[in-house]
């Protein structure tokens, strides 16, 4: 398969997702529910306005999950946007549920994956979801390994996802939080996308990105700017990123996102926010052009710096 970076990609434009052309900057709905991705948003009207403004700005790829707020994110999307624009790709995920305290709990068994898809269909108000990601989980919230009662082998999980696709309930299958071995095993399922942690400063997923590139699978990084979690580098705070942003008249976050778009032409971004101004800044990344000298500096950064 030809290298999809045979010509340097420019920020913006479109890329393939489950056979559809979608804008390369989409929207992630994880930040719309309340604190801890649980319960209603602090400001419901603003959350709805963010979703509507995203679509106004050309976003046609929204990433969500029924377990974001236990249905809250999906309800907001449905309220704000239903009936959905014809070109809008809705992407969700399964593999987890929430307990009564809001903790993320594994839901990896095939019957749980099916129940998760059905919950997403109901809360989004659709008969088919364009893509559903299988998020693989290998430990409990406490960090202990999954008990045998919660485990499921990848083959049986993919078989259930394939059955759901064959039934027309989902359009494409994605995987999330996967190892290289798991990704290789999942490729025969005709994957639409892979969601793994990846950023300018955390390129541990580069071998998986290469495999996606070679097989025409969309790469959808989460934590594209790092994270607030301890030990994870924050892209917008790196001196080289701050310097490049000042020289380009952009924000450090825009530089971090623009590098991802320029690094691989099949990468789709789903930055999330509950702020209208941050949303508009994220979308404005399409206007940030990284010159060769800046790309060389940024390419040279790595996690240890």
Q: How far is CA 189 from the centre of its chain?
A: 19
Query: Distance between CA atoms of 56 and 58, rounded to whole angstroms?
Result: 5
List, in sequence order, every residue forming a beta bridge with 20; answer none if it has no partner.
17
Contact between 241 and 272 (Cβ < 8 Å)? no
Cα 23–chain centre separation: 13
Q: How far apart are CA 186 and CA 188, in angstroms?
A: 6
Terminal-residue alpha carbon distance, the chain: 34
Q: In this structure, are residues 175 and 191 in contact, taking their beta carbons and an 8 Å threshold? A: yes
80/88 Cα distance (integer angstroms)? 13
Q: Is the peptide bond before 107 cis (omega within 30 degrees of 0)?
A: no
Alpha carbon distance 176, 33 (integer Å): 21
Picking from 95, 215, 90, the residue whose alpha carbon sits closest to that of residue 158 is 95
CB-side neighbour CA atoms (13 Å) of 255? 26
Question: What is the helix (H) or strand (E) element at residue 263, kind and residue range?
Answer: helix 252-263
Q: How far apart are CA 156 and CA 131, in angstroms?
A: 19
Q: Is the peptide bond before 123 cis (omega within 30 degrees of 0)?
A: no
- Point out the catalytic residue in the list 68, 84, 198, 222: 68
Would residue 222 show up in a list of annotated catalytic residues for this protein? no
| Bridge partners of residue 219, in order along the sequence | 194, 267
Catalytic residues: 68
């Amino acid at each position: 398969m030809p290298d999809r970076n045979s010509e340097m990609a420019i920020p913006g434009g479109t890329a393939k997702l489950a056979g559809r052309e979608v804008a390369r900057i989409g929207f992630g709905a994880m930040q719309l529910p309340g604190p801890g991705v649980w319960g209603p948003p602090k400001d419901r009207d603003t959350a709805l306005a963010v979703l509507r403004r995203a679509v106004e700005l050309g976003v046609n790829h929204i990433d969500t999950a029924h377990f974001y707020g236990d249905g809250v994110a999906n309800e907001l999307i449905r309220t704000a946007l239903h009936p959905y624009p014809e070109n809008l790709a809705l992407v969700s995920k399964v593999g987890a549920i929430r307990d009564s305290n809001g903790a993320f709990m594994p839901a990896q068994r095939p019957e749980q994956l099916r129940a998760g898809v059905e919950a997403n269909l109901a809360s989004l108000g659709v008969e088919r979801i364009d893509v559903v990601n299988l998020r693989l989980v290998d430990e409990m919230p406490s960090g202990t390994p999954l008990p045998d009662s919660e485990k499921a082998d990848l083959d049986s999980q993919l078989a259930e996802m394939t059955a759901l696709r064959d039934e027309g309930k989902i359009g494409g299958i994605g995987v999330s939080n996967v190892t290289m071995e798991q990704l290789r095993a999942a490729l025969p399922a005709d994957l639409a996308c892979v969601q793994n942690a990846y950023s300018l400063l955390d390129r541990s997923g580069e071998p998986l990105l290469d495999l996606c590139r070679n097989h025409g699978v969309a790469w959808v990084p989460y934590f594209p700017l790092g994270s607030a979690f301890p030990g994870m580098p924050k892209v917008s705070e790196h001196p080289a990123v701050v310097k490049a942003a000042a020289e380009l008249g952009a924000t450090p976050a825009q530089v971090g996102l623009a590098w991802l778009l320029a690094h691989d032409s099949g990468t789709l971004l789903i930055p999330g926010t509950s702020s209208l101004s941050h949303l508009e800044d994220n979308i404005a990344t399409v206007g940030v052009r990284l010159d060769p000298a800046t790309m060389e500096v940024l390419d040279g950064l790595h996690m240890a710096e």
